A and B are shown apart, each in its own frame.
Chain A
Amino acid sequence: MSVQFFLQQCLIGLTNGALIALVALGYTMVYGIIGLINFAHGDLIMLGACLALSLVTALGLATAGPTATWLGISLLIVLCGLFCGTLNVAVDRLVYKPLRSAPKLAPLVSAIGVSFIFMNMGLFWIGSADRAFPELLPSTNLLPMEGLQITWKDLLVVIVVVPLMVGLTLLVQMTRLGKAMRAVSQDQTAASLVGVDVDRVIAATFFIGGFLGGAASVIYGLYINTIGFQIGFQNGLYAFTAAVLGGIGSIPGAVLGGLVIGLVRSLSSAYVGERWTGAIVFAILIVILVFRPEGLLGRRTKEKV
């Protein structure tokens, strides 16, 4: 096992981790604002991937030239983002909004219900068997050496994920909407007293989380190249774990958590064996939470009377 092999695994891990982080953001933002573990988020992304597959087929992207391919991918990201964002807002309106004052577990169970409904929609959309997602990008090595590989696919993840995260940080830190989101996540009543339209802010949060998920679904298809109606659960699980690991509710935490989970996954697959990966990821999660109960970057909150 050489240094190069180790570096290669780290690279795979970081790329995977960036993808996980993008999904984790959707969990952490919704949790931060209404305290709901949105179990349906993973399946929302599965539906995004179904749309991406249908669009790739409809647009004939598999046979297009390089310029058209890149344009097509950008279009896919925007369309799937809009689709998932809108769907997320619609679900919030129809399902979670009437439950704002219900017992805490009611929205959680509803989210599990929504996740089952999404899964069924995916089943009707693409069928029960796994489907191949066309390889749109050449898998030539961009580095001039043998042992270490970076392909266009890896690069695509970075090209899409980094600007989205920078954009999100700017949005949350610099704009009025971002300020309102931070206010609502701290105290809904106080925020509404100073004139924040709480419902609109919550809808915006669901939209942004869904949009990021939609973008992630396109990258997922292009990077992993296989989709099925059950991918939502597994990916949602890892992303949710990443969000908790980083400190749920914290945006930089979700990114860090995603990268850590990605690294742990690829290194344990390479050095211990793929079949143990799930156990190792969660064992590390439990150990970290025992020593840092608020997650890596989470705020320590005191229970108030």
Chain B
Amino acid sequence: MHSSASSTPPASASRRLQLASLLRERWDLVALGLLAIAPLVIPALGGALGGQVTTLFIYCILALGLNVMVGYTGLVHLGIAAFFGIGAYSMAILTVPMYPFQMGFAAAAVISTLLAAGVGLALGAPTLRLRGDYLAIVTLGFGEVVKVTLRNLEQITGGMKGLNPVPPPGAGVTLGGVDLGMAFAIDPRYFYYLSLIVLAGVVVAMRRLENSRLGRAWVAVREDELAASAMGISATRVKLSAFAMSSAVAGLAGCLYAASLSTTADPNAYDFNRSIMMLCAVILGGLGSIPGTLLGVAILVGFDTVLAPWADSWIQQMNINPTGSSLLSFSGWRLALFGLALVLVMRFRPAGLVPSRRLAAELHEGQT
């Protein structure tokens, strides 16, 4: 189709085309490079903004974890925040001074990630034979159970206050004359880089997984469970591994979250709303698509933390809303705009903003 259109274009246009195709093929390296330079160029990243972007990276990790289950394997998961919470609280319990463990960051992160995976396995093993929507409600129910438990077991989880202070990574370690713990605590750019590195690692791991035997088995089960099992794939084992992988990545994101805030925050940070936001991000961006998932998170989080406050302050500056009525403020319309965006994207791009290439290839196979 496009081969006929591209007959000897002028040189400048061809260079532009090359640049565009470079951006399309290597968007990941371009983005990573820009994000790596950003803190050196933009001083604001050394302040509150740096913390916000760090949180954005952490949500990206969480959404990539969710994508394993919802995107690759096609199982609706409505309780990912529970595993996020398990990671965060386990990190806190293993490191805060209140408990006798007081481990280092890395050891605690490994244990918390494994713990989250273990809980995922324990929940998945008896429930994975349920049909799709029943499984969705089980994950939703599990999310509520975890949230209520975190809130009510005050002796262990600190109730609504949460657990703190979670020490920063490298506390007490001096590297080249810099006290790493202090540096992490004072300069948000350290956490910025740490979470960026972890995010990049997760993206690379996900890519490898996507094309591995296991990743292809996930997709096969999503497309047709019966056919997959006829080909010798054990559907239960494949789904269980997806569940464990999702939980593990979500737990890892939780570890970073607790460490970067130096507290677990209150249990409401791990409620159904968070799960739904993540699910919307994955579906909005494109199921099973890594760039889509990242874009989905960036849009949703950006909407809440960047666009809404900015629009509100603009309205205030322009003095459009002297009476302070919620009808004339941007945040008054926040929910409706958000909802409308979800509806419109699903109406006009049901496969998401950046559909997965594999999905697109499958959908158009018959047309070529």
Name A's B-contacting residues (CB within 8 A): 31, 37, 95, 98-99, 102-103, 105-110, 112-121, 123-124, 128, 233, 237, 240-241, 244, 248, 275-276, 278-279, 281-283, 285-286, 289-290, 293-295, 301, 303, 305
Contact = CB atoms under 8 A, between A and B. Distances in A.
Contact of A103 (B280, B332, B350): B350
A281 B147 CA distance: 13
B66 interface: no
Contacts of B127: 286, 289-290
A244 B137 contact: yes
27 contacts: A99-B346, A99-B350, A106-B350, A109-B279, A109-B283, A112-B276, A113-B338, A113-B342, A116-B336, A116-B338, A117-B336, A119-B335, A120-B332, A121-B336, A233-B272, A241-B137, A248-B133, A275-B151, A279-B148, A282-B141, A286-B141, A286-B142, A289-B127, A289-B137, A289-B138, A293-B129, A293-B131
A272 B347 CA distance: 46
Contact of B339 (A31, A116, A248): A116
A112 B342 contact: yes
Given A286-B141, A305-B227, 12 more contacts: A95-B343, A95-B347, A103-B287, A112-B339, A113-B343, A120-B336, A121-B336, A237-B140, A282-B142, A289-B137, A289-B138, A290-B126
Contacts of B130: 289, 293
Contacts of B327: 124
Contacts of A278: 144-145, 147-148
Q: Which 9 A-B pairs have the closest CB atoms?
A: A116-B339, A113-B342, A282-B141, A120-B336, A117-B339, A279-B148, A102-B350, A120-B335, A113-B339
Contacts of B312: none
Nearest to A240: B137
B209 interface: no
A282 B146 CA distance: 10
A278 B150 CA distance: 12
B32 interface: no
A282 B145 contact: yes
Nearest to A283: B145
B340 interface: yes
A110 B279 CA distance: 12
A303 B141 CA distance: 25
B335 A123 contact: yes
